[in-house]
Amino acid sequence: MKSEYSESEPAAESAVPFCRIFAGLIAGWALLAPLTDKAHAAGATTPFTTLEAEAGTPGGGATVRAFILGSPVPTAATLELEASGGALVELNATGQSVSWTNPVANANTIVIRNSIPDDPNGGGMTTTIDLYVDGVFRQPITVSSKQSWNYRNSNTTPDDPNGGGTPWHFYNEDRAFISGAPIAAGSTITLQKDAANTAAVYEIDCIDLENVPAPLTQPANSLSITTDCNADDTFGRDSTAEIQDCIKRARSSGKSVWIPQGKYMVANTVSTPLDLTGVTVSGAGMWYSMIYKKVPLPPPTLPWRSNILVGSGTTLQDVSIDSDAIYRSVGGASGDDYGISASGAGGWLIDHVWVQHCDAQWLSGSNGTIQNSRVADSWADGINLNNGNTPNVDKAGLNLTAQNNFVRGGGDDGIATFSDAGASGTNTEMDGTRILNNTSVAPYWANGLRVAGGKNVLVQENLVTDPAANSGIEVSIFGNTGHPLDSATIEGNTILRGGGWNTTDRHGMHVGSPGSTSLFPNAYTIATISNNLIQDSRRAGLKIGTTFETLTISDNIIDYPALKGIWIAPGVTGAGWFDRNTVSNLNTGQVAFQNDSASTFTTAFLWSDAQPATATSTQAGNDATNGNDGNPTTRWAASGPGYPQWWRVDLGASHSLSQVVINWYSSSSRAYQYKIETSGDDVTYTAVADKTGNATNGDTTDNFSATGRYVRITMTGVSSTGGYASFYECKVYGK
């Protein structure tokens, strides 16, 4: 069912920090087409193409398993909720398969996001699944569950299926080069469970296909970690000391470091980070040069650190980082650690780096950028831009950027920024965070994208899909020591299927602020949220939660929310400017807008841009509907200079009205005299504002209190001889 509801923008004095109070929703589909086109551009541009299993063709009796949108959300993790697209194909018998038509010219690599069973005693299993091209067997591909299937709140370890915990983190991504000739576009690619494939069941979520170019070659003026420093590219022994020595030599000689094609073992016999500070470190490409953190399990001593440090003046590019960690435990018994830790006041760059099976990419400092990179199966946040946990000039969190990255299967927020004041409250506030054109898919815990405090935060043109547990985008703070969110712009993002099994405030988008136990209990969350597409939310589309909020929310589309479209929860204080938003395809019994804090969260509604609000006028040299089309570049004008002239809008029903804002056409400082009238029947009109004799130029705002269906603006004169009555927009607001 399509809901028709709209509100927005009147000025009003208030005790809250935002003295102009605005709120609004536009009904109907008028804005859906252009914003949907814009939404298609959201997210990262990747060298690979993802094919969802449910979009393929099941064969041999294979079945599709899917979460049905609009149905109750489970209260624990499921294979369907953790799947990208909310669906998967199950192969549980010999001969079952799933096939796709290959869209990639000369595909020579494949990534399979899949789930196979855990071992009954934990630790996972490793087996194969068979790949066919155009019906001809090509190769077996190794798949594993050794780094999936954890158990939340286990009494023993998170890897123990017999510890009383709840299973989650079902999927792993397994990658392979395709043997033989590259696969031509248009060929049929099939994954099939054959007799040699020994897992009882294969849950296929999606595949990535790519035409990976030849390895990069060693740059000039560089030291090779193999030929110059004797690192082992065969994964036969620990190469930590050799790689660190090569970095030291390059730093002192002004050279860069080259990581040739190969797999390099680090942290096998040494508990220490690999420190790249001040050096450019380049590999042959994400598919060719891998640093693998093989921590002995259990580690001989704790903590056991294996993170890779990026400091001021560092560039890390064209490599892959992996580890043998089996659950989240930074420096702990699982072998887990941050994939990359960045800091430094002098700037850093991470470019074309693929990280898998590590904790967060924990990135602080100033003027740092992570871009064109890929994170899979992380134990915590895929990418976290932050200011550290204690005051430190090298961890200030200033002007940090995450751009054009692809994150899938995160163990916490897919992408996050976290401005922490620290236990003492003295850590400086982050400033200038930019999260741009990233894709965050199917984190099994927390949110697809999280904004937690700071100022001048820009979150723009990101694609966020399928958070299994929490919201698509969370806009708030973190914990009791998190800085307030003092200014953020959240615009042009697409959120698909937000709102997971963790039942507290999990929606397409959720907005919150510090709680009563915070270091900043009275701080307001201040944000502009505009031009976002929030579609197929498993709960509400947009929820505004406790406690203090000052918001501008405009031009958003909320389509097919399972519950309310926009919901202001009980206990919210503040104000909002909601303008030209669309809520469509509500389920039966749901509403487009609900304010459960009406006495403390001030709102008013824009009626004049809403359908079926129709405009007419005495004369129309330019069409009367130009005066309420939401476009500030088009205007209504009378056919001639005669006065009086009137312009009238029919709101479709009677509403409590409070304000009219007119953006006049004011060529040559033209000044109009006018009056505003309201009516319930288009016969009897009552004047609510009379500005006859008053000079006007540009915007005018008139506040009043009235009830009516029709609002008529009558122009009685103009200061310039021969001037036509004309304005760009007339906006009518109400309670």
On whether both 10 and 96 belong to a single domain, the answer is no
- Among 111, 142, 114, residue whose Cα is nearest residue 203: 114
Strand partners for 280: 315
On whether both 584 and 692 belong to a single domain, the answer is no
- Tell me whether strands 262-266 and 699-718 are parallel, antiparallel or unpaired: unpaired
Res 719: pLDDT: 80
- Tell me whether strands 383-386 and 361-363 are parallel, antiparallel or unpaired: parallel
Tokens of 321: 């980082």
Residue 477 covered by a domain: yes
pLDDT tens-digit profile of 300-348?
Answer: 999 999 999 999 999 999 999 999 999 999 999 999 999 999 999 999 9
Torsion from C-alpha of 504, 510, 516, 519, nearest 10 degrees? 120
Q: Which of 606, 629, 648 is the last residue of a domain?
A: 606
At residue 645's C-alpha, the angle toward residues 641 and 651, to 5°, is 140
Res. 611: pLDDT tops 80 = no
On whether both 155 and 82 belong to a single domain, the answer is yes
On whether both 138 and 7 belong to a single domain, the answer is no
Q: Which of 557, 590, 606 is the last residue of a domain?
A: 606
- Among 130, 68, 127, residue whose Cα is nearest residue 99: 130
Residue 338 covered by a domain: no
Residue 369 covered by a domain: no
On whether both 457 and 526 belong to a single domain, the answer is yes
Whole-Å CA distances, 64 to 67, 189, 195, 208, 463: 10, 18, 21, 19, 24
CB 338 within 8 A of CB 360: yes
Res 695: pLDDT: 54
Can you tell me whether residue 84 is helix, strand or coil? helix
On whether both 95 and 1 belong to a single domain, the answer is no
For 145, residues 6+ apart whose C-beta sits below 8 A from its C-beta are 115, 116, 117, 118, 119, 124, 125, 126, 172
Where does the pLDDT of residue 722 fall: very low under 50, low under 70, confident under 90, or very high at 90 and above?
A: confident
- Tell me whether strands 533-535 and 557-559 are parallel, antiparallel or unpaired: parallel
- Residue 659: burial class (beta carbons within 10 Å; 0-12, 13-18, 19+): buried
Average pLDDT over residues 444-472: 98
CATH label of the domain that carries residue 168: 2.60.120.260
Residue 692 covered by a domain: yes
Phi and psi at residue 260, to the nearest 5°: -70, 170
On whether both 573 and 624 belong to a single domain, the answer is no
pLDDT tens-digit profile of 616-663?
Answer: 999 888 999 999 887 889 999 999 988 999 999 998 888 888 889 899
Whole-Å CA distances, 459 to 433, 438, 463, 489, 540: 8, 9, 11, 6, 21
pLDDT tens-digit profile of 191-237?
Answer: 999 999 999 999 999 999 999 999 999 999 999 999 999 999 999 99
On whether both 572 and 653 belong to a single domain, the answer is no
On whether both 154 and 203 belong to a single domain, the answer is yes
Residue 313 covered by a domain: no
Neighbours of 392 (CB within 10 A): 17
Residue 201 covered by a domain: yes
Q: pTM of this prediction?
A: 0.88
Res 18: pLDDT: 21
Residue 177 covered by a domain: yes
Tokens of 715: 């122009």
Number of domains in the chain: 3
State which residues form the domain around 430.
Answer: 1-44+404-606
Total length of the chain: 735
On whether both 623 and 597 belong to a single domain, the answer is no
At residue 320's C-alpha, the angle toward residues 98 and 238, to 5°, is 120
Helices and strands (H, E) in the chain, number of each type: 3, 58
Residue written as token pair 């815990």: 445
Residue 362 covered by a domain: no
Can you tell me whether residue 167 is helix, strand or coil? strand
Q: Which of 210, 233, 266 is the last residue of a domain?
A: 210
On whether both 118 and 23 belong to a single domain, the answer is no
For 248, residues 6+ apart whose C-beta sits below 8 A from its C-beta are none
On whether both 578 and 702 belong to a single domain, the answer is no
Tokens of 384: 């976290």
- Among 524, 506, 504, 505, residue whose Cα is nearest residue 514: 524
Whole-Å CA distances, 379 to 75, 413, 425: 21, 10, 28
Distance CA 77, CA 442 (A): 12
Q: What share of the chain is helix, strand, coil (3-state, %, to 5)?
A: 5, 40, 55
pLDDT tens-digit profile of 372-422?
Answer: 999 999 999 999 999 998 899 999 999 999 999 999 999 999 999 999 999
**7 vs 77: which has the higher pLDDT:** 77
Q: What percent of the chain has pLDDT over 90?
A: 81
Report the chain's mean pLDDT, rounded to a whole number. 91
pLDDT tens-digit profile of 92-141?
Answer: 999 999 999 999 999 999 999 999 999 999 999 999 999 999 999 999 99
